[in-house]
Amino acid sequence: MKTDTAAAGGHPAPGAEKYYIRLNLHERVQHHLTWSTFVVLAVTGFMVEFPEEWVAPLGQYRDIVFYWRGILHRVAAVVMVLNMFYQAGYVFFTAAGRGYLRDMLPRVKDLREAGQNMAYYLGWAHAKPLFDRFNYKEKLEYWTGMIGGIIITVTGLFLWFQEYFPKFIFDISVLVHTMEAILASSAIMVWHFYEVHLKPGKFPMSTVWLDGKISEHELKEEHPLEYERITKGASSV
């Protein structure tokens, strides 16, 4: 992992905070593509379920809105799927990506850490477990997102090319696509938005998604094992 400093020119000012790269450029681009398409897909998707009273204020522009809703939903879906391929290419064919995937793989210790963390929340333990690069929360989000993404893509394709499949496949796809969308949207709201926006100390938001940098004390606090690994390697500036 590369390191960076807050001061310009790469010379650390006395007392200045040291920064580490948490998300490299590939990962940031992937995140930007994911969140932007997700927002478009959620809005244009749930528009179908809006009750009549919500649609009425659109007046005579209703059908134009509906037309573009369909186009936008498909365009965003294609971009999201291409982004998934981009991610797959990244995690399999680049060294940084392989490292990312390796650190993201679920392990038994995640379950143990989850238990320890609950004990800490409830005041039964005095300290948080020592997390590595990705903790169980991040792993849960990553893998549920991945599985959900595949399910929603497959059902979405069945809906898009409905003429070529039996009606029963269509019925299942409508149901699963909608339910998966509700699940994903609420999970993002509760799990992700709390973690990066609402959590005390993060509010109004963590800036990692913009510049990819995490401060030394945050890294030490949240990913102590990773910090230890980096500093022990002594490759940091």
Interface ranges with another protein (CB under 8 A): 48-50, 52, 55, 58, 60, 62-63, 65-67, 69, 118, 120-122, 162-168, 170-172, 174-176, 179-180, 182-183, 186-187, 190-191, 194, 199-201
Q: Between 101 and 188, whose beta carbon lies closer to another protein?
A: 188
Least Å distance, CB 119 to another protein, is 11
Q: Between 25 and 43, whose beta carbon lies closer to another protein?
A: 43
Q: What type of residue is 206?
A: S
Residue 57, strand partner residues: none
Contact between 187 and 141 (Cβ < 8 Å): yes
The owner of tokens 């379920």 is 49
**Which residue, among 235, 218, 184, has the nearest Cα to 46 in the 3D structure?**
184
Q: Which residue blocks in the chain are alpha helix, DSSP H? A: 25-46, 52-55, 62-93, 95-104, 108-121, 136-160, 167-187, 193, 208-211, 216-222, 224-233
Query: What's the angle, vertex CA 19, arms to CA 14 and CA 203, rounded to 5?
Result: 110
Query: What's the angle, vertex CA 144, arms to CA 142 and CA 148, rounded to 5?
Result: 120
Least Å distance, CB 49 to another protein, is 8
In angstroms, the CA 216 to CA 226 distance is: 11
Least Å distance, CB 154 to another protein, is 14
Least Å distance, CB 38 to another protein, is 17
Q: Between 23 and 184, whose beta carbon lies closer to another protein?
A: 184
Contact between 113 and 135 (Cβ < 8 Å): yes
Least Å distance, CB 153 to another protein, is 17
Q: Between 63 and 85, whose beta carbon lies closer to another protein?
A: 63
Q: Between 92 and 121, whose beta carbon lies closer to another protein?
A: 121
Least Å distance, CB 58 to another protein, is 8
Q: Between 25 and 55, whose beta carbon lies closer to another protein?
A: 55
